[in-house]
C-alpha cells in the first residue's frame, strides 16, 4: 500500500480511437450504483467500472439502514412526527463543521429519496422498534439510531427516529438486497458494467478538466474518453500507510470494516488532479456494549475510576470518548439488579466482585475512586438526575446492589470495528473541489471517498453512510449527466 498519488495522464496521450462515454463511474457500491443509475436514466451513456468480480463493495457489509427523515411514510405510519427543519437542526448540531447547503438538501429531499429507494423494488416495513439496539434485529422499519435523545442534542432539535432498515432480518444482508436491486435496475438501462476493471489514472487537458481515464483489467491497460468521472471507490481503511498517516487509532487494534479495495485509490485519484480533502483524521470506531438495553443503566469509567460520558449515548459516541481516555481504557460497571450478559459480547465480561473495594483492586483502579464515583452516581440516579453528564432519566438506575460486574471497553480488549470517514471535498452536487473552493470540471466523488455530512464518529448515526452515499451519488449522477 502507498500514500503516493497516481500519475496524471496528459490529453495528448489519449488515443484518438478511445472509447467514448458521457459518464464513467468508478466503484459499484451504493454510491456508485446510484450515480450510474441516475446518470443512465438522465440519458447519459454510462460506463461503470468495478475492481471486484461482483457488485456491492463495502456497502454489502452494512446492515441495510438508511438515515432518512422529515416525515417519511414509516415515520408517519408509526406515529413519529418529524420535519425538515428539525432534521436540519439535529444534523447541524452533531456536525463538526456543518455544511448548511448539503444538510438542507439532504433533509429537504429525504422523503423523495425514501420513495426512490423503495421504487428499486422493496418496501421499508411500517413498524417501529422501541429498544436500545445497534440496528433492528428483525424487519422493523424504524428505530432511533443516533444521539437524537441524548443531551445536549435533544435540547437543540426535537428527537425523532430516522434509522430506516431494509426488511431483512439480521445485520448483514439488508444492503445486499438493495445492491442486487440496483444491479437489476441498471440492467434495464443502457449503462455498461465491467467487473475486475478499475481506473488507475485520470486524463486531463491543459485547463485541468478531466476528460478521461486509464483503466486496468489484469494485465490489460486501456483508455476511455468521457465528459465526467464519478469516483465512488470507497475509503482507505485497508491502506495501512494511509491509516497510519491519518487515523492511527485504526492501526492499533480494531477490526476494520472494509473490502479489499478500500485502499484509498479513489481519494488519491482526486488528489492527483488537485482535489482537496477534509476530515481525513476522522474514523468511526465502536464496540457496542448493548443490547441488552439494561446495560445502558450501568456506568462507564476510565482507569482512574471516573465517568466521562453519558452512557445512553449512541455507541460510537461512547467509543469516541473512550479513545480520549488514558491508554484508551474504560469499563462498564453494572450491579446484580441490572446485569444481563449479551449474546454476542463485543465488550468482554471481566469478572464479578462482592464489594466495590474488591472491584477497584481487580480492575487496578485507584483506591476509593470507583466507590466515590458510584456513590455520586447512585445518589443522583435515585432521583432520576445526572448533573454531571445529563444521562436521561429512562436510563438512570442506582447501581447499589452487589455483587458488581465489569465489562472491558478497552481498545485491544473489546472487539472494536471501524472505518474511515474523511475524503475528497465536494459541493452539494458531488463536484470535487480544489483547496480554493473551485470545482474541477469533469470530476465528481460520492460515498466513502467523499466528505459529506458524516464527519465525526461522536455525532454519527447508523444509516448515515448508506443514506448520504446513495443520496449524493444520485445527485452526482444527475449533475454529471447534465454536464
How large is the average pLDDT for residues 416-442?
95
Residue that is last in its domain, among 386, 408, 430: 408
pLDDT band for 171, please (50, 70, 90 cuts).
Answer: low
Task: Find the farthest-apart pair of alpha carbons in the chain and give their distance in angstroms, rounded.
Answer: 80
Give the 3-state secondary structure of residue 457.
helix
pLDDT of residue 69: 98
Can you give the pTM of this predicted structure?
0.94
pLDDT of residue 416: 87
Give the 3-state secondary structure of residue 246.
helix
Q: How far apart are CA 21 and CA 24, in angstroms?
A: 7
pLDDT of residue 465: 92
Pair 103, 15 in one domain = no
Residue that is last in its domain, among 364, 387, 408: 408
Pair 296, 389 in one domain = yes
pLDDT of residue 322: 95
How large is the average pLDDT for residues 401-423?
92
pLDDT of residue 439: 98
Nearest Cα neighbor of 335 from 353, 308, 357, 311 is 353
pLDDT at 318 over 70: yes
Q: Which three cell numbers stand for residue 105?
A: 438538501
User: In this prediction, what percent of the chain has a pLDDT beyond 70?
Assistant: 98
pLDDT of residue 91: 97
Asked whether the beta carbons of 319 and 306 are under 8 A apart, the reply is no
Please identify which residue in the block is written with the cell numbers 454536464. 483
Please identify which residue in the block is written with the cell numbers 480488549. 413
CA angle 35, 41, 42 (to 5 degrees): 90
pLDDT of residue 252: 67
Pair 322, 271 in one domain = no
Pair 100, 238 in one domain = no
pLDDT of residue 456: 82
The enclosing domain of 331 has a CATH number of 3.90.700.10
Number of domains present in the structure of the chain: 3
Tens-digit pLDDT profile for residues 9-44: 999 999 999 999 999 999 999 999 999 999 999 999
pLDDT of residue 358: 97
Which of 112-116, 461-465, 476-480 has the lowest average pLDDT?
461-465
pLDDT of residue 56: 81
Tell whether 136 is covered by a domain.
yes
pLDDT of residue 172: 64
How large is the average pLDDT for residues 178-196?
97
Tens-digit pLDDT profile for residues 241-259: 999 999 887 766 666 677 7
pLDDT band for 417, please (50, 70, 90 cuts).
Answer: confident
Pair 268, 181 in one domain = yes
How large is the average pLDDT for residues 188-208?
97
Pair 48, 187 in one domain = yes
Reported as half-sphere exposure (CB side, CA atoms, 13 A), residue 8 has a value of: 18
Domain span including residue 122: 65-165
The enclosing domain of 185 has a CATH number of 3.50.50.60
Q: How far apart are CA 439 and CA 210, in angstroms?
A: 11
Pair 269, 319 in one domain = no
Name 230's Cβ contacts closer than 8 Å, sequence gap at least 6. 23, 24, 25, 26, 32, 35, 36, 39, 430, 444, 445, 446, 473, 476, 477, 480
The per-residue pLDDT of the chain, averaged, comes to 94
pLDDT at 63 over 90: no
How large is the average pLDDT for residues 426-443?
98
pLDDT band for 481, please (50, 70, 90 cuts).
Answer: very high
Pair 378, 389 in one domain = yes
How large is the average pLDDT for residues 120-137?
94
Tell whether 133 is covered by a domain.
yes
Pair 256, 308 in one domain = no
pLDDT of residue 254: 61
Q: How far apart are CA 360 and CA 343, in angstroms?
A: 26
How large is the average pLDDT for residues 296-307?
98
Residue that is last in its domain, among 145, 165, 185: 165
pLDDT of residue 327: 94
Amino acid at each position: 500500500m502507498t500514500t503516493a498519488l497516481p500519475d496524471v495522464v496528459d490529453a495528448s496521450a489519449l488515443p484518438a480511437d478511445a472509447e467514448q462515454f458521457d459518464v464513467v463511474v468508478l466503484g459499484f457500491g451504493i454510491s456508485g450504483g446510484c450515480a450510474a443509475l441516475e446518470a443512465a436514466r438522465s440519458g447519459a451513456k454510462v460506463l461503470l467500472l468495478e475492481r471486484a468480480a461482483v457488485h456491492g463493495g463495502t456497502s454489502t457489509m452494512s446492515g441495510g439502514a438508511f438515515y432518512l427523515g422529515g416525515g417519511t411514510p414509516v415515520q408517519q405510519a408509526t406515529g413519529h412526527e418529524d420535519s425538515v427543519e428539525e432534521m436540519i437542526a439535529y444534523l447541524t448540531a452533531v456536525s463538526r463543521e456543518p455544511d448548511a447547503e448539503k444538510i438542507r438538501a439532504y433533509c429537504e429531499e429525504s422523503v423523495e429519496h425514501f420513495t426512490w429507494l423503495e421504487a428499486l423494488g422493496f418496501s421499508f416495513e411500517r413498524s417501529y422498534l422501541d429498544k436500545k439496539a445497534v440496528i433492528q434485529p428483525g424487519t422493523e422499519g424504524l428505530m432511533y439510531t443516533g444521539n437524537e435523545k441524548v443531551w445536549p442534542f435533544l435540547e437543540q432539535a426535537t428527537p425523532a427516529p430516522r434509522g430506516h432498515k431494509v426488511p431483512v432480518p439480521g445485520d448483514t444482508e439488508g444492503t445486499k438486497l438493495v445492491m442486487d436491486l440496483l444491479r437489476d435496475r441498471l440492467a434495464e438501462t443502457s449503462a455498461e458494467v465491467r467487473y475486475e476493471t478499475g481506473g488507475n489514472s485520470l486524463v486531463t487537458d491543459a485547463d485541468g478538466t478531466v476528460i478521461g481515464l486509464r483503466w486496468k483489467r489484469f494485465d490489460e491497460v486501456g483508455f476511455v474518453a468521457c465528459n465526467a468521472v464519478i469516483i465512488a471507490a470507497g475509503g482507505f481503511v485497508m491502506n495501512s500507510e494511509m491509516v497510519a498517516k491519518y487515523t492511527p487509532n485504526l492501526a492499533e487494534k480494531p477490526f476494520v470494516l472494509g473490502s479489499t479495495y478500500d485502499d484509498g485509490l479513489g481519494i488519491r485519484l482526486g488528489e492527483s488532479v488537485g482535489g482537496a480533502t477534509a476530515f481525513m483524521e476522522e474514523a468511526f470506531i465502536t464496540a457496542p456494549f448493548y443490547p441488552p438495553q439494561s446495560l445502558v443503566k450501568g456506568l462507564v469509567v476510565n482507569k482512574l475510576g471516573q465517568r466521562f460520558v453519558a452512557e445512553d449515548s449512541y455507541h460510537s459516541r461512547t467509543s469516541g470518548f473512550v479513545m480520549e481516555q488514558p491508554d484508551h481504557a474504560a469499563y462498564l460497571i453494572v450491579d446484580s439488579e441490572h446485569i444481563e450478559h449479551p449474546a454476542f459480547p463485543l465488550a468482554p465480561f471481566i469478572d464479578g466482585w462482592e464489594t466495590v473495594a474488591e472491584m477497584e483492586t481487580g480492575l487496578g483502579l485507584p483506591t476509593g475512586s470507583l466507590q466515590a464515583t458510584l456513590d455520586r452516581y447512585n445518589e443522583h440516579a435515585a432521583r432520576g438526575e445526572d448533573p454531571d453528564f445529563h444521562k436521561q432519566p429512562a436510563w438512570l438506575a442506582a447501581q447499589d446492589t452487589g455483587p458488581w460486574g465489569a465489562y472491558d471497553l478497552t481498545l485491544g480488549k473489546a472487539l472494536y470495528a471501524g472505518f474511515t470517514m474523511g475524503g475528497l471535498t465536494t459541493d452539494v452536487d458531488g463536484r470535487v473541489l480544489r483547496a480554493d473552493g473551485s470545482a474541477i470540471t469533469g470530476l465528481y466523488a460520492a460515498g466513502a471517498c467523499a466528505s459529506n455530512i458524516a464527519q465525526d464518529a461522536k455525532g454519527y448515526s447508523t444509516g448515515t453512510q448508506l443514506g448520504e452515499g446513495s443520496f449524493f451519488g444520485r445527485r452526482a449522477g444527475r449533475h454529471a449527466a447534465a454536464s
